Amino acid sequence: MARLVLKFGGTSVGDIERIKNVAKKVKQEVDAGHEVAVVVSAMSGVTNQLVDYCKQIAKVHDQAEYDAVVASGEQVTSGLLAIALQEIGIPARSWQGWQIPLIADETHGKSRIERIDTTTLSDNMSQGVVGVVAGFQGVTEKGRIATLGRGGSDTSAVALAAALKADRCDIYTDVDGVYTTDPRIVKSARKLHRVTYEEMLEMASLGAKVLQTRSVEMAMKHHVRVQVLSTFEQAAGSELPGTLVVDEDEIVEQELVSGIAYSRDEAKITLIGVEDQPGVAARIFGPLTDAAINVDMIVQNVSEDGRTTDMTFTVGKADIDRAVQVLEKSKDTLNYRRLVSDANVVKVSVIGVGMRSHAGVAQRMFKALADRGINIQVISTSEIKVSVLIAEEYTELALRSLHTAYGLDKA
Amino acid sequence: MARLVLKFGGTSVGDIERIKNVAKKVKQEVDAGHEVAVVVSAMSGVTNQLVDYCKQIAKVHDQAEYDAVVASGEQVTSGLLAIALQEIGIPARSWQGWQIPLIADETHGKSRIERIDTTTLSDNMSQGVVGVVAGFQGVTEKGRIATLGRGGSDTSAVALAAALKADRCDIYTDVDGVYTTDPRIVKSARKLHRVTYEEMLEMASLGAKVLQTRSVEMAMKHHVRVQVLSTFEQAAGSELPGTLVVDEDEIVEQELVSGIAYSRDEAKITLIGVEDQPGVAARIFGPLTDAAINVDMIVQNVSEDGRTTDMTFTVGKADIDRAVQVLEKSKDTLNYRRLVSDANVVKVSVIGVGMRSHAGVAQRMFKALADRGINIQVISTSEIKVSVLIAEEYTELALRSLHTAYGLDKA
């Protein structure tokens, strides 16, 4: 017997038939002898509708009231799933954030979980009652409803799994696991059986939209074993059907590279002819920070003439116009010769904890891209990943080449 | 300065524009120096949608979970109205039943209010913050959400007004007050400025769908002055625009008859040739009670032959088929000769506390109807009303005749 937390997102509970389908999946786990808590999102479309109502009334509105409004979506789903479970003979009851209670801080709209008192919920589960928890929401010390920000139901689920000391947290979604790369682009992509938290974090933040970054961080911190799997495909046999996100020591044979991620959400800016002297980077990035524009990759060329250099960096595609505006406004103080921007770029990254102990991982990447005539514009590296910025038109070619180069293709 | 509770129903908050309109009405009261709490229903259509979801999953479902689902509708409106108020400069915050708390008993789905702890809400109001209260909902001692049954927001509002010792509870609706009779039928119908709780109770239960019976009972018990008025018409001048429902001693010049109500929701059954002996009524109405069919008017004719008599009574139109079925099944034990049913009837009632001290009120009714050739099929009376059952086709004629006969026509 294990203790499980199952999480179902908005698409999984998108209509009444799907809620009934979720109830059947929960029943399978209960019938297998497990103690189960289920975390649910709002039915797909509901949260957007509620957010839209708030905006229609006031562009800028009290986030505490926004929270009261939008948290209602998860409340509805939790009650409906409890009814659906009871209807097929599974004892169940719904839990709102304030009923557990799940205490969250007072940064309404993007509140962080402070603690969860699972005493009563846990007692209920021990007595065989499935706990159906409204995700995305908690209650502040002052007794106000607080929501955890978009995608917060993943975070609710992982935090609850940690507090309940659950054996596993299963995140049901519309994909059946984490792949070596995007299977829509690379046909030979394989589903990973296991991946480490660190790798998952890199994949999540690099654009593989499977799990919310925050929830992976929390899972890593509390050593919660997380499985990503599909709501819409039936598990075959007794093996875990999805991808398990776990500590590194749970992975016996570590691959050199686990996956290749990409993000089209980048745009490149180059400042040509900036002075090559101390403080210039601070002068450039200060105004961008003030405008709340995040800078990702940064490269500063070696100065040829000893006086001026070029500075290249990337910002989110949505921020490119604003970034250019800010930099042009500061042209006099920054004292650069010319600004070039390019939104037709993509960031491709190879990720793997195995590269910590192996040399030549980056080199293999550069060679594979060079063999295809793909020019690398910017490079950045971390302990477990190498990212390059290339022209967007090469995305598919680059992914396929790298997937083969690192031996990730299906047998 | 007064303390007011304002209640807005589903139509009044049916969309975002209407919620903004409600905010303006609340602002007028705040600007006039009053301390205000507002009770809101769900946006029209929302509760039906949520009830439908529950039914789609399970015809018979856990009422506690049903409550968690449907209470969300009022939660949304309360948050949205708080935002709308803040947007026009009025400090406001939303209150869910569990936040106040409004403690309700555990008969989920039609829970009754046990007590309201208004300490914090009242402090907030004293500091100039409008309390926007989600109607229709409370919380049980066990911390579960409970709803007060359909139309429960009226009850929430009156109970809250009592607990807050409010000077008045204004029920905003889509009619502008209580009329001497249905103004769609009788053009000369007048709006009543004041009406007693007892009269309002009779009017409510007799089919004038202005206020929920339960809320009037509660207002009477706690001496809450209730005003019924329109959300969609602007009040003219400083006088109260609607109808005030108050204690009898607040009404200086009491009319003999205050209003004439009617209900088409009645059907008549006559059992011909039942034995005229003790216990026969119990034998007839026992099976109907067992089938949860309410019987309203009952008349037993004088026995002509000393052995058999006729028994006539009315049931709700929706119950007529079931009632006939039950009675035909019991034909042998009831031992009647023939059953006649008639759904083409209407109950017309004249109502007025003034008739307690005046004779001849019923007589005037009988004469007015006789003058028009309208046959009275059944009569029933109470201290402050006389009701007659007549053929449905005479409804309009009867209402107009009685309205004139009691001197209620507009000057």
Amino acid present at B101: P
> Residue B232 has what pLDDT?
83
The chain B residue lying nearest A91, using CA atoms, is: B62
> Residue A174 has what pLDDT?
83
> Residue B211 has what pLDDT?
85
- Quick check: B93 and B82 in contact, CB under 8 A? yes
Q: Which tokens hold the place of B14? A: 């049916």
**The CATH number of domain B3-249 is 2.60.40.10:** no
The pTM assigned to this predicted structure is: 0.86
The domain spans of chain B are: 3-249
Q: What is the mean pLDDT of residues A137-160?
A: 93
* Sheet with strand B35-40: strands edge to edge: B92-95, B130-134, B35-40, B3-8, B168-173, B226-230, B243-246, B194-196
Share of chain A above pLDDT 70, in %: 98
Residues of A in contact with B99 (CB under 8 A): 143-144
For B:27-56, CB contacts with A below 8 A are: 50, 53-54, 56
Residues of A in contact with B50 (CB under 8 A): 76
Interval B122-179: pLDDT, tens: 999 999 999 999 999 999 999 999 999 867 899 999 999 999 999 999 999 888 889 9
Model confidence at A235: pLDDT above 70:
no
pLDDT level of residue A236 (50, 70, 90 thresholds): low
ipTM of the complex: 0.84
3-state secondary structure of B228: strand
- Quick check: A122 and A36 in contact, CB under 8 A? no
A370 touches chain B (CB under 8 A): no
- Dump strand ranges (E) for B197-344: 226-230, 243-246, 259-263, 266-275, 295-300, 308-316, 338-342
B123 touches chain A (CB under 8 A): no
Residues of B in contact with A75 (CB under 8 A): 68-69, 71-72, 75
Instruction: Compute the mean pLDDT over every residue in chain A, rounded to the nearest whole number.
Output: 92
> Residue B332 has what pLDDT?
87
Q: Which tokens hold the place of A123? A: 């007692």
The HSE-up count of residue B190 (CA atoms within 13 Å, CB side) is 15
Q: Which of B55, B65, B67 to mutate to test the interface with A (most CBs of A within 10 A)?
A: B65
CATH number at A3-251? 3.40.1160.10
Inter-chain CB proximity B58 and A93 less than 8 Å: no
| A32-36, A304-308, B94-98, B120-124: segment of lowest average pLDDT | A304-308
The chain A residue lying nearest B144, using CA atoms, is: A99
**B20, B57, B80 member nearest A54 (Cβ):** B80
The chain A residue lying nearest B85, using CA atoms, is: A57
Amino acid present at A35: E
> Residue B111 has what pLDDT?
95
**A54, A79, A84 member nearest B83 (Cβ):** A54
Interval B274-325: pLDDT, tens: 888 878 888 889 889 888 898 989 888 777 777 888 899 999 999 999 999 9
| A334-338, B82-86, B251-255, B326-330: segment of lowest average pLDDT | B251-255
Residues of A in contact with B101 (CB under 8 A): none
pLDDT level of residue A239 (50, 70, 90 thresholds): confident
**B72, B86, B145 member nearest A62 (Cβ):** B86
Q: What is the mean pLDDT of residues A244-270?
A: 89
Model confidence at A36: pLDDT above 90:
yes
> Residue A51 has what pLDDT?
95
DSSP state of A260: E
Q: What is the mean pLDDT of residues A281-298?
A: 88
Q: What is the mean pLDDT of residues B361-374?
A: 93
Instruction: Compute the mean pLDDT over every residue in chain B, rounded to the nearest whole number.
Output: 92
Question: A403 — phi, psi (to 5°)?
Answer: -60, -40
- Dump strand ranges (E) for B251-369: 259-263, 266-275, 295-300, 308-316, 338-342, 345-351
> Residue A43 has what pLDDT?
97
